Amino acid sequence: MSTFSSKQYAWSDVSISIGGRILEGAQDVEYTNKQEKDVLRGRGNKPHKIIRGNKSYDGKLTIWQSELEAMTKDAPNKDILALNFDIIVSYAPEDGGETVTDVIYSAEFTEVKKGMKQGDKNMLVELPIIFLDVKPQQ
C-alpha cells in the first residue's frame, strides 16, 4: 500500500534544467498533457462509453532575457526555434522531503517575443513550447 504525503512544494523547491544547465533566470514553467475525449453514443439517450483520441503536449517557459541570449548564442544559426531539447523539472524540498522529477521529452520553442515597457527593471521572455511526451515522477 502506498503512503500519502500532503507535502506542498514552493517555487524555491523548483529547478529547471535544459541541456544539463540549470536555468537560474527561470520565472515560470508550465506543461500540459492533454488527450482528446468524447462520449460514444448508441441506443438510448445516455452515453455508453468514454472514447479516447490523440494526446498532445504543450506549455511555456518564462525566463530572463539573459537566459534567452545564452541559448540563442549556442543555437544553430543563432535560431532557438531550431533547438530540440529535454527539460528536467525537479521539485526538491529543502526540508528533505521527497524529490519529484518530471522529464519533458523532445521540446521545441514555437515562438520568441521580446518586449519591454517603461519602468521595467529587466526583460522577461515567455517562450511557448511543444513536446512529444512528459514522464512524471522519474
Q: Residue 44 is part of which domain span?
A: 13-135
Establish if 8 belongs to a structural domain. Answer: no
Establish if 48 belongs to a structural domain. Answer: yes
Residue in the structure block whose three cell numbers are 507535502: 7
3-state DSSP call for residue 125? strand
pLDDT of residue 96: 75
The domain tally of the chain equals 1
Give me the residues of the chain with pLDDT under 50, please.
Answer: none
Could you read off the pLDDT of 125-135 as tens digits, one per residue?
A: 999 999 999 99
Q: What is the mean pLDDT of the chain?
A: 93
pLDDT of residue 4: 59
Residue in the structure block whose three cell numbers are 535544459: 18
Establish if 111 belongs to a structural domain. Answer: yes
pLDDT of residue 74: 87
pLDDT of residue 98: 85
Establish if 6 belongs to a structural domain. Answer: no
pLDDT of residue 94: 81
pLDDT of residue 16: 97
User: DSSP character for 67?
Assistant: H
Cα dihedral angle (41, 43, 49, 54), rounded to 10 degrees? -30
pLDDT of residue 9: 86
pLDDT of residue 54: 98
Could you read off the pLDDT of 52-67 as tens digits, one per residue?
A: 999 999 999 999 999 9
Report the CATH number at residue 109: 2.30.110.20
